[in-house]
């Protein structure tokens, strides 16, 4: 064993150490006190040797090094190992992986710090993940993440997954210490991290456009939107494979929801956005900004419609299949349905693979939705209960909604052939 005293100014922190260990934010108060007292008593500061290579690069003992610098102690007792750091291991991914493994071997659990503490393993995971992405262009799969957990930690895979999400998905590393201190459970930390961030409270614009009236008043938009929907959707359904109409093929066609509902919803969204543009508005879909409303209307000419501090001028699209009557026919939305501020929705109900449709433009509120697991569902019977008798609140573009002789609200999908 080669043991020498090395001046603090001659020691060199390992370049990869900061990727694995958060020495900068470590509380070294007790360590500093211990090193100072040992130096005063023994003439040297550290009982436990710092591990270095022949060029004084530190492999174990970075906290002792930092603490001695702060205490202005002159040297540390070190053991020189045979392995030597080379600069190439910073950029060469194969050497980098091997070097990080050697660095970790010299910092085994129970010797200097708790290598299985959440802050330590999550920092290591982040470093290895970044290397993997740089090398392959892909993130870890769930299987690779689990394998890393099994090989490198003493944590349960599900708990590890949740903490990875806390730090790297929701970017809340501040919660790690709270878990370590017992203030939060892992489950509570994830719940806190994934909770919707409070936003500056937006106001409803009192001057927002009454889109129901706009449509009823015979705007140019009225003549544009329905033909666009039908024409584009028919083109979609006409896609062929091996000379067979693919989408609605009885034997080889797409699943009903994926093949019809999702694509019809996107068709309506694009048709509405384009038709508004054609009528002089500046409208857009969330293609480049996933998570926004389906159609945002920014302005008309020089007049700004979506103003800072107010909810954007917006429309949403909902599509589903006709189920025979209003209580069974439903459209669905994601979480947050109980916070919806009233604004217009395009509701499209289709039958017979889209050969018949009911297309409705209606103002929708949070009162129109029922709980459906973590999502919201709106039975068309509930919509009718809330809106049918208020004719200023909705307009039917195609199809019909009426009250039968028994007073029951009925939905009628009508053929779209001949609209174009």
Q: pLDDT tens digits for 281-304?
A: 999 888 756 567 889 999 888 888
Give the separation between CA 319 and CA 360, rounded to whole angstroms.
10
Region class of 376: left (phi > 0), else alpha (psi between -120 and 50), else beta: beta
Q: Classify residue 69 by its DSSP letter.
A: H
Average pLDDT over residues 130-159: 89
DSSP tally for the chain: helices H, then strands E: 14, 19
Q: Give all strands (DSSP E) within 81-201, no chain letters.
A: none
More confident residue, 307 or 112: 307
Q: Tell which residue, 273, 299, 113, 284, has the closest CA to residue 205.
A: 299
Backbone angles phi, psi at 395, to 5 degrees: -145, 140
Is the pLDDT reported for residue 109 higher than 50? Answer: no
Secondary structure of 342-373 as H, E, C letters: CEEEEEEEEEHHHCEEEEEEEEECHHHCEEEC
Q: Tell which residue, 253, 259, 410, has the closest CA to residue 328.
A: 410
Is the pLDDT reported for residue 198 higher than 60? Answer: no
The predicted-structure confidence for 369-387, as pLDDT tens digits, reads as follows 998 877 889 999 999 999 9
Sign of CA pseudo-dihedral 121, 123, 129, 134 = negative
More confident residue, 348 or 263: 348
Is the pLDDT reported for residue 111 higher than 60? Answer: no
User: At how many degrees (to 10) do helices 186-194 and 157-164 cross?
Assistant: 30
Percent of the residues in the chain that have a pLDDT greater than 90, as a whole number: 50
Is the pLDDT reported for residue 334 higher than 50? Answer: yes
The predicted-structure confidence for 3-46, as pLDDT tens digits, reads as follows 999 999 999 999 888 777 766 666 788 899 999 999 999 999 99
Local confidence band at 196 (pLDDT 50, 70, 90 cut-offs): low
- Residues contacting 192, CB < 8 A, separation 6+: 172, 175, 184
Average pLDDT over residues 100-109: 79
Give the separation between CA 147 and CA 150, rounded to whole angstroms.
5
Concatenated DSSP letters of 301-321: TTEE-S-TTBPPSEEEEEEEE
Mapping DSSP to helix (H, G, I), strand (E, B) and coil, where does residue 212 land? helix
Is the pLDDT reported for residue 418 higher than 80? Answer: no
Sign of CA pseudo-dihedral 379, 384, 390, 391 = positive
């Amino acid at each position: 064993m080669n043991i020498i005293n090395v001046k603090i100014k001659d020691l060199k922190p390992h370049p990869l150490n900061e990727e694995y260990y958060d020495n900068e934010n470590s509380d070294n108060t007790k360590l500093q006190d211990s090193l100072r007292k040992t130096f005063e008593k023994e003439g040297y500061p550290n009982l436990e040797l710092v591990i270095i290579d022949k060029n004084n690069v530190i492999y174990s003992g970075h906290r002792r090094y930092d603490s001695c610098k702060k205490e202005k102690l002159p040297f540390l007792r070190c053991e020189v190992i045979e392995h030597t750091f080379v600069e190439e291991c910073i950029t060469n991914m194969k050497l980098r992986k091997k070097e990080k493994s050697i660095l970790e071997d010299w910092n085994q659990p129970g010797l200097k710090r708790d290598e299985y503490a959440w802050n330590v393993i999550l920092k290591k995971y982040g470093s290895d993940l970044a290397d993997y992405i740089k090398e392959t262009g892909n993130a870890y799969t769930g299987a690779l993440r689990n394998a890393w957990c099994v090989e490198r930690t003493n944590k349960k895979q599900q708990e590890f997954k949740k903490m990875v999400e806390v730090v790297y998905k929701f970017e809340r590393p501040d919660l790690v210490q709270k878990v370590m201190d017992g203030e939060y459970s892992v489950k509570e930390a994830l719940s806190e991290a994934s909770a919707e961030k409070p936003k500056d409270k937006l106001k409803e614009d009192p001057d927002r456009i009454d889109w129901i009236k706009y449509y009823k008043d015979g705007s140019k938009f009225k003549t544009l939107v329905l033909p666009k929907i039908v024409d584009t959707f028919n083109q979609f359904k006409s896609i062929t494979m091996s000379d067979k109409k693919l989408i609605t093929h009885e034997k080889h066609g797409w699943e009903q929801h994926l093949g019809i509902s999702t694509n019809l919803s996107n068709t309506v969204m694009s048709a509405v956005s384009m038709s508004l543009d054609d009528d002089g508005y500046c409208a857009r879909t969330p293609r480049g900004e996933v998570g926004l409303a389906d159609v945002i209307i920014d302005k008309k000419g020089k007049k700004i419609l979506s103003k800072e501090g107010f909810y954007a001028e917006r429309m949403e699209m909902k599509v589903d299949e006709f189920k025979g009557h209003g209580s069974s026919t439903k459209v669905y939305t994601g979480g947050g349905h109980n916070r919806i501020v009233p604004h217009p929705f395009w509701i499209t109900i289709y039958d017979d693979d889209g050969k018949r449709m009911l297309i409705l433009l209606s103002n929708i509120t949070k009162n129109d939705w029922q709980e459906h697991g973590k999502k919201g569902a709106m039975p068309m019977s509930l919509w009718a209960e809330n809106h049918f008798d208020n004719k200023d609140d909705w307009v039917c573009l195609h199809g019909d909604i009426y009250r039968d002789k028994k007073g029951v609200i009925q939905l009628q999908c009508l053929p779209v052939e001949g609209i174009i």
